[in-house]
Amino acid sequence: ILNVEQSPQSLHVQEGDSTNFTCSFPSSNFYALHWYRWETAKSPEALFVMTLNGDEKKKGRISATLNTKEGYSYLYIKGSQPEDSATYLCALSDNFNKFYFGSGTKLNVKP
């Protein structure tokens, strides 16, 4: 079992603020790290897949970094908007594509 910790559990920011949250893992014994965005009453949707190379990923105002040596990944949102409000999930996948999810960071962006 791969342990995945996410922090903080929840986050409240004002529109326009930039924010970031963390996914921590105790070892690099995984194949890829995944970030998902999960809106209330919907299904999780993939944001990024990151391999152990650790290259930064970017999609619009959202970016993610991976530091396998120190055991964490950061997800950054620049200039948060109310539509960014969602739970952000981190998951590790192993060589057999079995996924291990963290419990998520719930982001609320106030207009």
User: Does residue 22 bind other proteins (CB under 8 A)?
Assistant: no
Which residue type sits at 23? C
By CB under 8 A, name the one of 13, 22, 24, 49 that touches other proteins: 49
- Distance between CA atoms of residues 101 and 93, nearest Å: 9
Residue 85 or residue 93: which is nearer to other proteins going by CB?
Answer: 93
User: Does residue 25 bind other proteins (CB under 8 A)?
Assistant: no
Residue 69 or residue 96: which is nearer to other proteins going by CB?
Answer: 96
Q: In 1-111, at which residue ranges do the beta strands (DSSP E only) sit?
A: 5-7, 10-14, 19-24, 32-38, 45-51, 57-59, 62-67, 72-77, 86-93, 99-101, 105-110
User: Does residue 83 bind other proteins (CB under 8 A)?
Assistant: no
Pairing of strands 10-14, 105-110: parallel
User: Does residue 104 bind other proteins (CB under 8 A)?
Assistant: yes
Residues engaged in binding other proteins (CB under 8 A) = 1, 31-32, 34, 42-46, 49, 51, 89, 91, 93, 95-104
